[in-house]
Amino acid sequence: MIRHLLHISHVSKHFGGNVAVSDVSFSVDEQQIFGLIGPNGAGKSTLFNCMTGFFPASSGEVIFDNKKINALRPDEVCRLGMVRTWQRVKPLGSLTVLENVMIGAFSITSVTREAEAIARENLHAVGLMDYAGKLAGSLPVGLKKKLELARVLATHPKMLLLDEICGGLNPTETGIILDIIRGVRQKGATIVFIEHDMKAVTSICDRIVVLNSGEKLAEGTPEEITNNPDVIDAYLGGGHNA
Rule CB under 6 A: which residues touch ligand ADP? Answer: 15, 18, 20, 38, 40-46
- Site track for Mg ion across 81-120, x = CB under 5 A: ------x---------------------------------
Q: Of residues 12, 22, 32, 45, which one binds Mg ion by CB under 5 A?
A: 45
Instruction: Give which of 222, 220, 186 is closest to 204, Cα–Cα.
Output: 222
Q: Which is nearer to ligand ADP, 89 or 139 (CB)?
A: 89
Segment near Mg ion (CB under 5 A); pick from 36-44, 176-184, 197-205, 224-232? 36-44
Q: In what order do the strands lie in the sheet with 4-15?
A: 18-29, 4-15, 59-64, 67-68
* Shortest distance (Å) from residue 98 CB to Mg ion: 29
Cβ atoms 127, 146 nearer than 8 A: yes
* Shortest distance (Å) from residue 20 CB to ligand ADP: 3
3-state secondary structure of 230: helix
Segment near Mg ion (CB under 5 A); pick from 17-25, 41-49, 151-159, 222-230? 41-49
At 109, phi and psi to the nearest 5? Answer: -150, 150
3-state secondary structure of 209: strand
| Distances, alpha carbon 217 to alpha carbons 25, 39, 208, in Å | 11, 11, 11
Q: Residue 239, class by beta-carbon neighbours within 10 Å (0-12 exposed, 13-18 middle, 19+ buried)?
A: exposed
For residue 43, the partner it binds in Mg ion, ligand ADP, none, with Cβ less than 5 to 8 A by kind, is ligand ADP
Q: Which is nearer to ligand ADP, 32 or 46 (CB)?
A: 46
For residue 155, the partner it binds in ligand ADP, Mg ion, none, with Cβ less than 5 to 8 A by kind, is none
Q: Which is nearer to Mg ion, 39 or 91 (CB)?
A: 39
At 205, phi and psi to the nearest 5? Answer: -90, 140
Residues that bind Mg ion in the complex, under the rule CB under 5 A: 44-45, 87
